[in-house]
Amino acid sequence: MPGKIRTAQSVSLDIPASEQPYLHNRWHPDIPSIASVKPGETVRIECLDWTGGQIGNNDSADDVRDVDLTRIHYLTGPFDVEGSEPGDLLVVHITDIQPLDHSPWGFTGIFARDNGGGFLDRHYPRAAKAIWDLDGIYCTSRHIPGVRFAGLVHAGILGCAPSAAVLAEWNRREAELVGACAQSHPGQVVALAPLATNAHAGAADGELRARIAGEGARTIPGRPEHGGNVDINNISRGSTTYLPVLVPGAKFSVGDLHFSQGDGEISFCGAIEMAGTISIRFDLIKNGMEERAIKSPVYRPGDVAQQFGPSRYLTFEGFSVDEAGRQHFLDATVAYRQACLGAIEYLKQFGYSGEQIYLLLSCAPVRGSIAGIVDVPNACTTLGIPMDIFDFDVSVEAERVPRSLAPCPVADPRVR
Amino acid sequence: MPGKIRTAQSVSLDIPASEQPYLHNRWHPDIPSIASVKPGETVRIECLDWTGGQIGNNDSADDVRDVDLTRIHYLTGPFDVEGSEPGDLLVVHITDIQPLDHSPWGFTGIFARDNGGGFLDRHYPRAAKAIWDLDGIYCTSRHIPGVRFAGLVHAGILGCAPSAAVLAEWNRREAELVGACAQSHPGQVVALAPLATNAHAGAADGELRARIAGEGARTIPGRPEHGGNVDINNISRGSTTYLPVLVPGAKFSVGDLHFSQGDGEISFCGAIEMAGTISIRFDLIKNGMEERAIKSPVYRPGDVAQQFGPSRYLTFEGFSVDEAGRQHFLDATVAYRQACLGAIEYLKQFGYSGEQIYLLLSCAPVRGSIAGIVDVPNACTTLGIPMDIFDFDVSVEAERVPRSLAPCPVADPRVR
Amino acid sequence: MPGKIRTAQSVSLDIPASEQPYLHNRWHPDIPSIASVKPGETVRIECLDWTGGQIGNNDSADDVRDVDLTRIHYLTGPFDVEGSEPGDLLVVHITDIQPLDHSPWGFTGIFARDNGGGFLDRHYPRAAKAIWDLDGIYCTSRHIPGVRFAGLVHAGILGCAPSAAVLAEWNRREAELVGACAQSHPGQVVALAPLATNAHAGAADGELRARIAGEGARTIPGRPEHGGNVDINNISRGSTTYLPVLVPGAKFSVGDLHFSQGDGEISFCGAIEMAGTISIRFDLIKNGMEERAIKSPVYRPGDVAQQFGPSRYLTFEGFSVDEAGRQHFLDATVAYRQACLGAIEYLKQFGYSGEQIYLLLSCAPVRGSIAGIVDVPNACTTLGIPMDIFDFDVSVEAERVPRSLAPCPVADPRVR
Amino acid sequence: MPGKIRTAQSVSLDIPASEQPYLHNRWHPDIPSIASVKPGETVRIECLDWTGGQIGNNDSADDVRDVDLTRIHYLTGPFDVEGSEPGDLLVVHITDIQPLDHSPWGFTGIFARDNGGGFLDRHYPRAAKAIWDLDGIYCTSRHIPGVRFAGLVHAGILGCAPSAAVLAEWNRREAELVGACAQSHPGQVVALAPLATNAHAGAADGELRARIAGEGARTIPGRPEHGGNVDINNISRGSTTYLPVLVPGAKFSVGDLHFSQGDGEISFCGAIEMAGTISIRFDLIKNGMEERAIKSPVYRPGDVAQQFGPSRYLTFEGFSVDEAGRQHFLDATVAYRQACLGAIEYLKQFGYSGEQIYLLLSCAPVRGSIAGIVDVPNACTTLGIPMDIFDFDVSVEAERVPRSLAPCPVADPRVR
């Protein structure tokens, strides 16, 4: 008789993340496995929020401004999946994700330009924050009045450990980019090299720990070989992801749970970040990478999601001409930035600050689409905003009435 | 008593496009208006396919290979909208789009790499073609067996004429790009300068015609100031687009009708291109650009679209690491290319050629999303394919059975 | 090379329906077939509106009040489908439905209680009418201001001819009901017996015509053996219906096209009735009735429909306690009537007359659901109204502001 | 700073329901309130399953067969809502519903014809049962293999206490029905009169308790004046229901939580019945019954639900001709029964027993619609089954392969 679903790993909100041995914040094949799961089994896995608890439920953005980005992405794992071998596909079917019952809140942040930054940091260089209260499947924020929506709860990070060869390739190509950009993008963080400071290698200690700290890949980027920090908002309840297995046992890890996130997660700390519990049913497709011709993660969204009706999305077009009027060649990233900036100017009319909308576009269920990618020189992207998340009418036709909305906290620049 | 909807302009499939004076293929403020419409009025406007009839309903891709890209985008217009002035927003509500009744077919093409190219031209350099039979709201192709879907019929191009100042800015910035790329991208067409050859300035003649031919902006790119060739597939029936008005009378033009198109239109001639009739109800928001804070087109999709269920989309992830293993910095364009390439390799398993899938991803209702745009150095994009458009099961779980599918025509390279 | 889709039968708006030999208004196995279609073939079939042109595009409801209900449901057909035999399933895949191009309007009527009646005729005994202007996929009515919606265009009637045995059974059981109700429902039309008056038997003449007129089943009810007048609004574009074949050749007929209809079609002449063209692709499943265990029609809706978002439906609950406070036993029909009456009282607050809402609930895309059918003695049904079809806010929270809306024509009772 | 959501009332799975003083199983104005909530506040309320724990997680249907139907519907409440008075509308916004964490299972039952019965009890007179394992938002049953779906979790019962006058009216009209049916429906339970046996009046004792037991309305039927046992499956997470307030304080009660239910809940114990926790945010619209013209409950569904795509619903038509070939007059209840019976015969082909499908149609997300309610004499209803809940293809086109599926428990008739 099936009973209650097994919790494969719990976490503590009271012990520092760096001291919890079933967490880690680097990708490396040799981080010790913490538990084993069977194909066909559903287990619950608890996760900390991605900062490991650095951000507080309060009305100051100083903690966001001062966040220590070497102490992030404490993932729960790695888990061995019985019988898995390199070349298999690990099937990750998410049956539920919930905030921790005793912690029904989350946060969205704008990082300061000189400590983390984000998609629009040239426009919004100061740190800002919004705290969200989670009420069942809905959320509201005292820092962004007038909006309320159901979250498409998801895991920002999920993936299997890289093999040594894959890890070496990551380090090679990212170092190459850093080198190539040293002159063209001076001072810009284009990629993060391995860093021993605050590396958490789970239960590894001694020499192993030192080696992992020295070689382990940073967790910020998603990567094609295994997924990782993909920040895909519809890898949600009911979704099924097919992950390449690169090491014996798969060594699956998960973390960075999001109550909600817009396409792009544009403010970088842009989802509604939370600690929570994810329930996963694992399966294996033996030799699936070759037999199914899958080299990068593939997924099917769940069949449960918000439904706003397509005509309820006010949609902004963005092209690859940048803010300074400079023409870029089929650059969808520049184009999406323009769509975001257009939406911000539009929504400011209703009484919000730019930071509030920047936060909102990052975390609300907005849709970012690649419309046209071939019409030289302009990529065309779109940003769709579901109007029904607002308490008032934000359509083009709506009358603009002065509204006095409470602000979100914005931090003064740090004095060094 | 309202009667039949007025046809504001019809076109001929028998007269060369260049000889039909109500068509034009450049953007310029001085192309003579062909008719006037009133705010509140719905009119029908006929349009040629974007090549003006260069492609035939046959089984050879030679016409696609040999297409003359100086003779494209014959737009119907410009139409004056009564009372419109610069600074207004022109409201374009599409109430219907239909293929021409006596021409129920369309085409999708892959251009040869040396004549047009496309998103994947390094991988698929040869021209290829698929002819689609339009059966009501559905389409099938003898060149891509095993698929059938309803089209989200839309207009690829719609926009108002640029002012002289806007036109000058377009020419300036695009020329700047061409200059900047001359060394970095030798031989690559990064933007198209004004070109007198085959310029069609509508009813203009003499000196005016020569001036328009010399100054007029090419129609390939969409542009932020007015929209134009945005290739957004949900600017479909029921959609409402708010277009900046830049010249007195608005001078609205429309064309490049698509029976269906995937996000990105990746093969460039990637939609199901067709001649057809669009019905538009026009309205005006006076001084809307300032009072609504809208500088680039904004739209609301229609409330009628295909509904596949989110879990029916098999979704491929793509990251900004290119085919050669080179790391790019937050480049969503590179990332989307990887998602497309992954999908092609996957679907080849079911019996298709690469060209067939390349064509299919271009024109079928696939979804391209910007998932994460801040996780340095990897942008993450996704490509979702609705599995229900296939006659057979293409899920990851599906058994791979050998299928012998009829091919699409692929042209030998042109001998020069 | 496929060409234009063949029109299997056209109709005339100028010749009286009763004189067009490819129409018929009775169900009988011996009505002569008018044409033959092949499995796999798509054909277009034109249809008159269900009254055969009795209702005019004007502002009087007198024609609705005086409608001759012996001259209705002129169906186009019957068509032989090659190879079909009793026991097969005829697969009817609708690829398109359009209003006749030169007749872009439709009508919705409330019949007078003493001539046709309807679901709420005790409350609204007088005839009323709304004319709808069809603008592409959208419709509006000068008689019901403030609403606009896209139609889910469908065929009210489609079915194969009954066999002689099935026809006899229909006549038996309906006569039995008439007999049983003669005392319990005096004066109420509970079913319609065969009637020679104005019977139209297609091309039949002489004795055959007389026999058909004498025996032929009336077309008002849908019937389980073949479907017929089912008035199911999502047998629309893209739908596939599996129809039992009861006679050699199938003898398929179709008519009663609706631009839109709410669940229940409550005012009886409740859809937006129109003349139009339907495109159907036919197929056969040999011996499908037995091998697929299908005795009554089964269908799959199309994948293209309006999408309002579930939370945009204001939904009224109705229970089987009637207007007089009388308790009925699990009577879903009584329950649905209460939901309709509740919705009418609610929407009257916004300035409409009861007749206007009665018409609107009949034809707009409202959803009627059977919620609970087992909680003795009350069946519970619901009526969901998509709020987005209104120009103004009709939510419970909306402020009630006095609105002066133009009325719909209502006819004085006929003097006899 | 908002904290964890307050639990307004918890329940025990270990103490008999009849001994928990915050539960009641009759509707009466004088059942003592158990707690008070404020408008604007969200609270959690725990509920037992509707049988108060009579059914076990095992493989015998004997407990369903022998269920004591005088001991059901133990509702949690009544709750006073501060400031509410008769004539107000109580706004019930459900923000979450979850099964009790330590009890992740539910059940669906077919009652024996002589003890409860159900919609198809003449066809399936024996008791049967399915146990469902709840895995996050999904469920599966060892008793109905081959299906798996996400639940649209909802509350079967919610309503405010009746006033004395409303209660008297209920008792009057239901007694009248019982009287009227005594001859026409001998032996049939058409309504349930007040019954002292096992009446649970919450904390009431002594005389008050006796009076409530003698007068209190039974909870089985939903009723138009207050809602109650409406069994509407989309009164789910995110829904907002507007309930008439009939007594000072509103006296709101809730219970009968369902993990999932099909339209109609046809087997009577037809939902996936469970114990759980519901989170509700309350609000008030003062004098809303008159000012909003609402006499019966009205609701808006939530915006989060399963999305299968309309074309994924295999839909059965049912008409008001009964199993014996008898014609009924516009009887939607008879019609819906035929649709259900047709679906059962169809799905039996895939290896299921009739009881299994009867259970499945009761609890899976099937859609029951009122298609046409005016085409005398046949009401037409439809039953849509989402094909994607099955592990295998159940389309009409699917090959019928013999499957050996594990059965569900069916109980032998009780010997008396």
pLDDT digits 0-9 by tens, D121-145: 999 999 999 999 999 999 999 999 9
Helix (H, G, I), strand (E, B) or coil at B219: coil
Out of C2, C96, C101, whose CB is closest to B137? C96
Return the residue in C148, C149, C307 with the most chain A beta carbons within 10 A, the one to mutate for interface testing.
C307
Q: Give burial (CB, 10 Å; 0-12/13-18/19+) of C218.
A: buried
CB contact under 8 A, B137 and C104: no
DSSP one-letter string for C39-87: TT-EEEEEE--TTSS-S-SSS--HHHHT--TTS---EEEEEEETT--TT
Out of A95, A137, A302, whose CB is closest to D238? A137
CB contact under 8 A, C321 and D173: yes
Per residue in C119-154, pLDDT tens?
999 999 999 999 999 999 999 999 999 999 999 999
What would the mean pLDDT of C285-307 be, rounded to a whole number? Answer: 95
Q: Which residue has the tokens 């319609």?
A: C192
Report d(CA B219, CA A350) in Å as an integer.
35
Question: Measured between CA atoms, how close is C306 to chain B, in angstroms?
Answer: 4
Helix (H, G, I), strand (E, B) or coil at A324: coil
CB contact under 8 A, B370 and A372: no
Q: Give the β-pairing of C42-47 and C6-9.
A: parallel
Report d(CA D61, CA B415) in Å as an integer.
79
Tell whether A4 lies on the interface with D, counting CB pairs under 8 A.
yes
Report d(CA C388, CA A312) in Å as an integer.
9
Per residue in B138-194, pLDDT tens?
999 999 999 999 999 999 999 999 999 999 999 999 999 999 998 888 888 999 999
Tell whether D148 lies on the interface with B, counting CB pairs under 8 A.
no
Chain D residues inside the 8 Å CB shell of A95? 135-138
Out of D133, D137, D306, whose CB is closest to A96? D137
Report the pLDDT value the prediction gives residue A3, as an integer from 0 to 100. Answer: 59
DSSP one-letter string for C108-173: EEE--TTTT--TTTTT--S-EEEEEEEETTEEEETTSTTB-EE---EEEEEEEPPPHHHHHHHHHH
pLDDT of B206 higher than 60:
yes
Selection from C390, C396, C343 nearest residue C367 by Cα = C343
Q: With cut-offs at 50, 70 and 90, classify the pLDDT of residue D416.
A: low
Give the residues of chain A that fall short of pLDDT 70: 1-3, 416
Neighbours of B119 (CB within 10 A): 25
Q: With cut-offs at 50, 70 and 90, classify the pLDDT of residue B22.
A: very high
Question: Measured between CA atoms, how close is D26 to chain A, in angstroms?
Answer: 29
Closest chain C CA to residue A391? C397
Out of B263, B317, B395, whose CB is closest to A370? B263
- Residue D1: CB partners within 8 Å, gap ≥ 6? A57, A58
Please tell me the total number of residues recorded for chain D in this structure. 416
Chain B residues inside the 8 Å CB shell of C305? 304, 307
Beta bridge partners of A76: A23, A254
Selection from B276, B288, B268, B289 nearest residue B236 by Cα = B276
Q: Amino acid identity, residue C366?
A: V
Tell whether C351 lies on the interface with D, counting CB pairs under 8 A.
no
Tell whether A178 lies on the interface with D, counting CB pairs under 8 A.
no
Tell whether A308 lies on the interface with B, counting CB pairs under 8 A.
no
Tell whether D309 lies on the interface with A, counting CB pairs under 8 A.
no
Closest chain C CA to residue B386? C303
pLDDT of C1 higher than 60:
no
Per residue in D236-271, pLDDT tens?
999 999 999 999 999 999 999 999 999 999 999 999
CB contact under 8 A, A105 and D2: yes
* Contact indicator for A355, A110 with CB cutoff of 8 Å: yes
- Residue D186: CB partners within 8 Å, gap ≥ 6? none
What would the mean pLDDT of C97-106 be, rounded to a whole number? Answer: 92
CB contact under 8 A, C311 and D301: yes
Report d(CA C382, CA C386) in Å as an integer.
13
Per residue in D154-199, pLDDT tens?
999 999 999 999 999 999 999 999 999 988 888 889 999 999 999 9
* Contact indicator for D140, D259 with CB cutoff of 8 Å: no
Per residue in B233-268, pLDDT tens?
999 999 999 999 999 999 999 999 999 999 999 999
Chain D residues inside the 8 Å CB shell of B314? none
Report the pLDDT value the prediction gives residue A38, as an integer from 0 to 100. Answer: 97
Return the residue in B138, B149, B311, B389 with the most chain D beta carbons within 10 A, the one to mutate for interface testing.
B311
Please tell me the total number of residues recorded for chain B in this structure. 416
Helix intervals (H) in A195-276:
206-215
Structure tokens at A149: 């929506």
Q: Give burial (CB, 10 Å; 0-12/13-18/19+) of D70.
A: middle
Chain A residues inside the 8 Å CB shell of D101? 4
State the average pLDDT for chain D: 96
Out of A133, A237, A308, whose CB is closest to D2? A133
Tell whether A197 lies on the interface with C, counting CB pairs under 8 A.
no
DSSP state of A111: -
Class of CATH domain A310-389: alpha beta
**Dihedral (CA of C192, C198, C200, C201) sign:** positive
Report the pLDDT value the prediction gives residue B1, as an integer from 0 to 100. Answer: 44
* Contact indicator for C96, C278 with CB cutoff of 8 Å: yes
Tell whether B195 lies on the interface with A, counting CB pairs under 8 A.
no
pLDDT of D2 higher than 60:
no
Report the pLDDT value the prediction gives residue A188, as an integer from 0 to 100. Answer: 86
CB contact under 8 A, B119 and A223: no
What ranges do the domains of chain B cover? 6-300, 310-389
Q: Amino acid identity, residue C243?
A: L
Per residue in D333-384, pLDDT tens?
999 999 999 999 999 999 999 999 999 999 999 999 999 999 999 999 999 9
CB contact under 8 A, D4 and A96: no
Out of A307, A310, A311, whose CB is closest to C310? A307
Out of C119, C174, C346, whose CB is closest to D373? C119
Q: Which chains touch D (3 or more CB pairs under 8 A)?
A: A, B, C
Closest chain B CA to residue C138? B95
Report the pLDDT value the prediction gives residue A184, as an integer from 0 to 100. Answer: 83
Residue of higher predicted confidence among B414 and B93: B93
Tell whether D324 lies on the interface with C, counting CB pairs under 8 A.
no
Chain A residues inside the 8 Å CB shell of B121? none
Out of C309, C313, C379, whose CB is closest to D333? C379
Question: Measured between CA atoms, how close is D369 to chain C, in angstroms?
Answer: 4
Tell whether A404 lies on the interface with C, counting CB pairs under 8 A.
no
Q: Amino acid identity, residue A196?
A: A
Structure tokens at C355: 């007749």
Report the pLDDT value the prediction gives residue B103, as an integer from 0 to 100. Answer: 87
Longest dimension (CA), chain C: 66
What would the mean pLDDT of C4-25 be, rounded to a whole number? Answer: 95
Chain D residues inside the 8 Å CB shell of C338? 224, 296
Report the pLDDT value the prediction gives residue B122, as an integer from 0 to 100. Answer: 96
Tell whether B312 lies on the interface with D, counting CB pairs under 8 A.
yes
Chain B residues inside the 8 Å CB shell of A223? 319, 321, 378
pLDDT of D1 higher than 50:
no
Out of D95, D104, D135, whose CB is closest to A138? D95
Question: Measured between CA atoms, how close is D244 to chain A, in angstroms?
Answer: 24
Q: Which chains touch B (3 or more CB pairs under 8 A)?
A: A, C, D
Tell whether B60 lies on the interface with C, counting CB pairs under 8 A.
no
Selection from B325, B372, B364 nearest residue B344 by Cα = B364
Residue contacts between A and D (CB atoms, under 8 Å): 86
Report d(CA A19, CA A207) in Å as an integer.
18
Tell whether B197 lies on the interface with D, counting CB pairs under 8 A.
no
What CATH number does the domain located at C6-300 have? 2.60.120.580
CB contact under 8 A, B306 and C308: no
Tell whether B346 lies on the interface with C, counting CB pairs under 8 A.
no
Report d(CA A53, CA C321) in Å as an integer.
57
Question: Measured between CA atoms, how close is B281 to chain D, in angstroms?
Answer: 29
Return the residue in C138, C139, C147, C149 with the most chain B beta carbons within 10 A, the one to mutate for interface testing.
C138
Closest chain C CA to residue A149? C311
**Which C positions 26-45 lie with beta carbon below 8 A of chain D?**
none
